[in-house]
Homo-oligomer: A and B are copies of this chain.
Amino acid sequence: MSEEERKDIGDLGEFGLINHLTNDIKLTQPSSMVGIGDDAAIIKNGDLMTVVSTDMMVEGIHFSLVYSPLKHLGYKAIVTNLSDIYAMNAVPHQVTVSLAISNRFSIAALEELYEGIKRACELYKVDLIGGDTTSSNKGLIISVTAIGSAKQEDLVFRSGAKPGDIMCVSGDLGAAYLGLQILERERQLYESHPGVQPDLDQQKYLIGRQLKPEARGDVIKNFQKFNLKPTAMIDISDGLSSEVFHICHSSGVGAFVEEGKVPIHPEAEQMALKFQLDPITCALSGGEDYELLFTVDESELEKIRFMPDVFIIGDIVDKKDGITLHTTGGNIHPLKAQGWEHLKGK
């Protein structure tokens, strides 16, 4: 085809591209309950549902080995997939890991990567059951598939939110993004002044949120303990506003987010100001926090008031009322979905 007709990947964005390529796919197998479009797919096996999620991390796109220790990288590759399983209100039990590696990696480097993978498996009680290891011409690529299970009646989708529901998150947002800004700044400093050793001890919290995030399996356990089933849920990998949009689109509803209620860690707040960034923008669009965003029926208010790590940030409203942000200044703006879109302009 001619260059004139050529449509670039970046024109569609990540979600547009996936949608474009997969919107004609129909599920034909009796066991395929849910396919593309939620955090994970669902396969029916008798009463127990198998929940499957898969992700790919590419060097130079999702991580830089300049500042990502391989151990943390292995850990994060597992955790980000488990997060998708938890986001279905399911429990992960197994993972597979496929690697493409260039020969610049030594065996010791791969051992370090696997150390992180194994550590995450141990802590989250999942088994590494398979994978593939191959060479690449350039860089490191990690593809993880996580497999979990849940009873059919326990599964929570993106599509169940309804007007009146309370919208909650499980923890503070924006810190992972600010951790990345610090690391990027240090990398640039290091590249221009190779002798300078960065002092990152002051920013342990923010950097830790970026390099070694945790998946909120503890929140899922609390749901069971408190006998609470969210009406909709998603994990926050692309930024809060992008995830609010996903829930609203899937559920056919609107949302009202209270800026002042969005939890931001004090260190994230300070660092945002140092970088001359708006803290709330970091929290709304930063991504990679791997907290859970979920909605609960308004009758559950008493329950969530006593649950640890639940922050009420707004309400679900009618679709016609749109998706809006109520600022601390008292204004109401349409919320902008500015998620992580790696494909844009690359």
Contact = CB atoms under 8 A, between A and B. Distances in A.
A7 to B, nearest CB: 4
Interface in A140-180: 141, 143, 145, 147, 149
Contacts of A46: 45-48
Interface string A203-220: 000000000000000000
B343 A134 contact: yes
Nearest to A143: B143
A306 interface: no
Interface string A289-328: 0000000000000000000000000000000000000000
B50 A128 contact: no
Contacts of A27: 127, 129
A133 interface: yes
Nearest to A138: B138
Given A14-B134, A50-B50, 4 more contacts: A7-B107, A8-B106, A12-B107, A43-B93
Nearest to A47: B46
Contact of A61 (B32, B47, B134): B134
Contacts of A101: 9
A34 interface: yes
A56 interface: yes
Given A43-B93, A93-B32, A141-B141, A58 B130 contact: no
Contacts of A14: 133-134
B43 A110 contact: no
A266 interface: no
A96 interface: yes
* Most central of A9, A14, A62, A343 by chain B CB within 10 Å: A9
7 contacts: A11-B107, A29-B125, A36-B128, A54-B96, A61-B135, A137-B138, A138-B139
Interface stretch (A16-24, A181-189, A192-200, A329-337): A16-24
Contacts of A35: 127-130
A94 B133 contact: no
A285 interface: no
A222 interface: no
B343 A36 contact: no
Interface string A107-144: 11011001000100100011111111111111101010
Nearest to A126: B29
A134 B58 CA distance: 8
Contacts of A62: 134
Given A129-B36, A138-B139, A110 B58 contact: no
B7 A52 contact: no
A10 interface: yes
A55 interface: yes
A286 B127 CA distance: 33
Contact of A58 (B25, B48, B135, B343): B135
Q: Which of A1, A132, A137: most chain B CB closer than 10 A?
A: A132
